[in-house]
Amino acid sequence: MKRKLITIILVVVYALQLASPLYAQDTTDVSAPISEPKPKQKIRIPLAFKHAAGDIRYTFGYWPALIIAGGAIAAGALTAVDHSVASHFTSRHLGKLDDIGNYIGSPYVLNPAAFVVWGASALAHDKKATVTGETLVESLLFADVMVGGLKLAFRRTRPNGGNYSFPSGHAAGTFAVATSLQTLFGWKAGVPAYAVATFVGLTRIDMNAHYLSDVVFGAALGSAIGWGTAHYHKLIHKNLFVMPMMGGNSTGVNISGTF
């Protein structure tokens, strides 16, 4: 498992390098007269790339990096009991609930649902809901890319004999959604979302689709991505969400909105 942990660390380091700040180029014409310098030309970065850079930078910041590292350490430790745990889930104790969890956590369900929220909110001119949908879409796509890359890197056999067990994409996706909602709206949205995500993770173990360590790391990865993506969107849309406020001897929250 040491080799797996090293690979995960390298992936994190590589992502951090991608997230390093890019400085705008100075395009001033040095041959122009000093008395009439040409203004610097701003490089227009497509919004999608700007958001991707922001999502990556915040996902691999201090706290999310700790979540990923903790998930990697926990997953490494749990590999020692993976097979014994899997042996207790050969008869699908949850029955048809497994199928429900498999359906809820499927990227073929989560991703279209997020796009529908985003698109419908935009058509309804509901700015806050639009930002929420945008956050969910970006966090899920980011999770899909990370999970897909790690699955190809590890190629771990599933308990049921299938391929690409590590990490769990269902766990990563649902925990990305749960953490995004908790970050944007607090625990009233976070608690039920985390309950659903935990249920999905349990069903993946119960139906022998994943080992315990697959689900634990998938949950950690999804949580980090959801945290980073939601915090980035919360920062660039300060007028829509509750922001912490600290100053002098007082603490509280600052709520503002555009009407």
Determine the Cα angle at 199 with ends 217 and 3, to 5°. Answer: 15
Query: Do residues 220 and 228 lie in contact, with contact meaning Cβ atoms separated by under 8 Å?
Result: no
Ranges of residues in the chain with a pLDDT under 50 are: 13, 16-17, 19-34, 41-45, 243-248, 250-259
pLDDT of 115 reads 95
Six-digit token string for 21:
């700040």
Unique residue bearing structure tokens 């498992």: 1
What are the residue ranges spanned by the domains of the chain? 2-19+46-237
One-letter amino acid identity for 29? D
- Give the burial class of 168: count Cβ atoms within 10 A of its Cβ; 0-12 exposed, 13-18 middle, 19 or more buried: buried
Instruction: Please state which architecture CATH assigns to domain 2-19+46-237.
Output: Up-down Bundle (1.20)
Residue with tokens 């390298």: 10
Q: What is the pLDDT of residue 186?
A: 93
- CB of 182 closer than 8 Å to CB of 189: yes
Among 167, 137, 120, 122, CA closest to 55: 137
Residue 116: half-sphere exposure toward Cβ, Cα within 13 Å: 6
Give me the pLDDT at residue 236, please: 77
Burial profile 15-34: b = 16 or more Cβ within 10 angstroms, e = fewer: beeebeeeeeeeeeeeeeee
- What's the confidence (pLDDT) of residue 47? 60
pLDDT at 25: 39
Give 74-128 pLDDT, tens digit per residue: 999 999 999 999 998 888 888 899 999 999 999 999 999 999 999 999 998 988 8
Question: What's the helix, strand, coil split of the chain in %, to 5?
Answer: 65, 5, 30
In this prediction, residue 94 carries a pLDDT of 87
The answer to whether the pTM exceeds 0.75 is yes
At 185, list the tokens.
Answer: 């709206």
Nearest Cα to 16, choosing from 231, 240, 254, 228?
A: 228
Q: Is the peptide bond before 46 cis (omega within 30 degrees of 0)?
A: no
Q: What is the dihedral of CA 170, 175, 177, 181, to 10 degrees?
A: 160
CA atoms of 13 and 11, how far apart (whole Å): 5
